[in-house]
Amino acid sequence: MKRILSMLLFVSGFIPFTYILGIGGFGFQGGQSLLSIESYNSTEGVAELNTSDFSNPLSGGAYIYIDAIPFVDLEADFSLSFKEYTFDFTNSEDNIGPYDFSWGDFSIYLTARKKIVGLGIPLLAKAKLFYGGGYNMHTVTPLMNLDLMESALEGNEGNEVNIEEADPTNLSEGDLISFLKDNQVKSNGFHIQSGFQFKVLVLDTFLFYRHTFAKDIVPGQDHFGSLNLRIGYGL
Residue spans per domain, the chain: 2-234
pLDDT in tens, 3-13: 433 433 343 34
DSSP bridge partners of 65:
25, 75
The reported pLDDT for the residue numbered 31 is 96
Average pLDDT across the chain, whole number: 87
Report the sign of the C-alpha dihedral through residues 179, 180, 181, 184, in that order. Answer: positive
DSSP 144: P
Q: Which residues pair with 77 in a beta bridge?
A: 63, 109
Q: What CATH code would you report for 2-234?
A: 2.40.160.20
Report which of 109, 107, 105 is spatially closest to residue 76, judged by C-alpha positions. 109
What pTM was estimated for this model as a whole? 0.84
**Burial class, 50, CB count within 10 angstroms (exposed 0-12 / middle 13-18 / buried 19+):** middle
- CA atoms of 11 and 23, how far apart (whole Å): 21
Half-sphere exposure of 26 (CA within 13 A, CB side): 4
**What is the C-alpha to C-alpha distance for residues 148 and 6, in angstroms, rounded to an integer?**
71
pLDDT tens sequence across 62-114: 999 998 888 899 999 999 999 999 999 999 999 998 999 999 999 999 999 99
- The residue type found at 164 is E
pLDDT confidence tier of residue 135, bands split at 50, 70 and 90:
very high
